[in-house]
């Protein structure tokens, strides 16, 4: 999956122009409700990001002039990604930031936000479609997914999410199945999983989110 499939498109992104003053930028961010927004120049070339916290610190703690240009307060000019970068790579980069700017040929094409990242995880856990969410564990990490999919053959798997990747001792897998099973059917499935080396750690019925 590429981030180009997930990003918030440029037309929907609130930005501040690089020639704006501190006061103008703060007003724009306040109106937006965000804590940071991308900065672009008159040609929509990406210049970085501006944070509400930095603007307030400049005005209140440093007694700065609200008519000063924002140039010196802009951050992260070098932190941006291409649309063809994988979602997993973006997941690492976005952890410490409110968003990642997506840039093509120097121009801002959109941003990847934590909401988009959470949406992918919600989908993986079956929160959008609803269903039966089971967390199972295997003492043998090698071949876990192969054994699990064989055990679940014939089941309607809505989502699959692995944990403890890289572990040689144990591995947990979160699997979401279609939610039309009775409690009795779920118990039978648990027994089947146990016979094939899987311990059921948790089972939840998830209501469809939308």
What does 190-205 look like in DSSP terms, one character per residue? HHHHHHTTEEEEEEEE
- On whether residue 123 sits in a domain, the answer given is no
What CATH number did the domain enclosing 113 receive? 3.10.580.10
pLDDT at 122: 77
Do 97 and 143 reside in the same domain of the chain? no
In terms of residue numbers, what domain contains 95? Answer: 3-118
Q: What is the pTM of this model?
A: 0.73
Residue 138 has pLDDT above 90, yes or no: no
Together in a domain, 60 and 150: no
Q: Which of 25-39, 48-62, 168-182, 188-202 is predicted with the least confidence, judged by mean pLDDT?
A: 168-182
Same domain, 62 and 144: no
Q: Over 70: is that where the pLDDT of 139 sits? A: yes
pLDDT at residue 78 in the model: 94
Summarize pLDDT for 13-25 with one digit per residue, the tens. Answer: 999 999 999 999 9
CATH of the domain at 174: 3.30.70.260
**CA–CA separation, 174 vs 32, rounded Å?**
37
Task: Report the chain's mean pLDDT, rounded to a whole number.
Answer: 89
User: 92-110: per-residue pLDDT in tens?
Assistant: 888 889 999 999 999 999 9
More confident of the two residues 20 and 171: 20
Position 143 confidence tier, pLDDT thresholds 50, 70, 90: confident
The pLDDT-based confidence of 210 (bands split at 50, 70, 90) is low
Please indicate, yes or no, whether residues 12 and 48 belong to a single structural domain of this protein: yes
Residue 167 has pLDDT above 90, yes or no: no
């Amino acid at each position: 999956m590429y981030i180009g499939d997930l990003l918030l498109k440029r037309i929907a992104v609130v930005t501040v122009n690089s020639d704006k003053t501190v006061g103008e930028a703060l007003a724009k961010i306040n109106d937006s409700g965000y804590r940071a927004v991308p900065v672009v120049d008159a040609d929509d070339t990406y210049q970085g990001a501006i944070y509400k916290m930095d603007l307030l610190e400049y005005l209140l703690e440093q007694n700065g002039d609200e008519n000063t240009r924002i140039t010196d307060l802009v951050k992260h000019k070098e932190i941006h990604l291409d649309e063809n970068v994988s979602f997993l790579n973006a997941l690492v980069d976005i952890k410490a930031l409110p968003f990642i700017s997506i840039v093509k040929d120097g121009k801002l094409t959109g941003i990847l936000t934590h909401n988009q990242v959470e949406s992918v995880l919600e989908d993986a856990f079956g929160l959008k479609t609803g269903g039966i969410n089971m967390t199972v564990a295997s003492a043998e990490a090698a071949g876990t997914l192969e054994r699990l999919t064989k055990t679940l053959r014939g089941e309607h798997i809505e989502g699959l999410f692995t944990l403890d990747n890289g572990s040689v001792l144990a591995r947990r897998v979160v699997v979401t199945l279609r939610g039309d099973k009775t409690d009795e059917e779920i118990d039978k499935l648990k027994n089947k999983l146990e016979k094939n080396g899987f311990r059921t750690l948790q089972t939840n019925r998830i209501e469809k989110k939308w």
